[in-house]
């Protein structure tokens, strides 16, 4: 059974940091790509970052480039999103997603077939 479980969300003041984790079911960890997305109520889900799990190539949305870092720990079957210099505009529900095919466009939601339930990030000013 496919399972992606996010954790690490919470409330932080502007300028602070959080690290999100996405634990991927071990027997399905031959996913080729894992991405992080976020969504605010009433708005479309937007891409944050993605990583090709074999080559470790990373991709970032312009809005988070230089502040967020995506990484993976194969031993723990976990992908992380380190978020620094957070602003209130980063407030959203954050989702991780995965797929077994390397997407041509890793920063679009339709490239992913498997999704977690999300973890809330709230940044106060």
Pairing of strands 92-99, 114-115: antiparallel
* Contact in structure between 49 and 68 (CB atoms under 8 Å): yes
The predicted pLDDT at position 92 comes to 98
pLDDT digits (tens, 9 = 90+) for 72-107: 998 888 999 999 999 999 999 999 999 988 899 999
Tell me the pLDDT band of 26, cut-offs 50, 70 and 90.
Answer: low
E-assigned strand segments in 15-108: 18-24, 33-39, 46-52, 58-60, 68-73, 78-83, 92-99
Calpha distance 19→78 (Å, rounded): 12
pLDDT single digits (tens) 46-78: 999 999 998 999 999 999 999 999 999 988 889
3-state SS class at 75:
helix
């Amino acid at each position: 059974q496919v399972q992606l479980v996010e954790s690490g969300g919470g409330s932080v003041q502007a300028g602070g940091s959080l690290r999100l984790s996405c634990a991927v079911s071990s027997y399905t960890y031959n996913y080729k790509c894992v991405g992080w997305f976020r969504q605010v109520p009433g708005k479309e889900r937007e891409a944050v970052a993605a990583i090709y799990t074999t080559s470790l190539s990373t991709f970032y949305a312009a809005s988070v480039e230089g502040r967020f870092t995506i990484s993976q720990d194969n031993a723990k079957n976990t992908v992380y999103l380190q978020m620094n210099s957070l602003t209130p505009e980063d407030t959203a529900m954050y989702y991780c997603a995965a797929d077994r095919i390397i997407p041509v466009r890793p920063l679009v939601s339709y490239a992913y077939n498997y999704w977690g339930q999300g973890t809330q990030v709230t940044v106060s000013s």
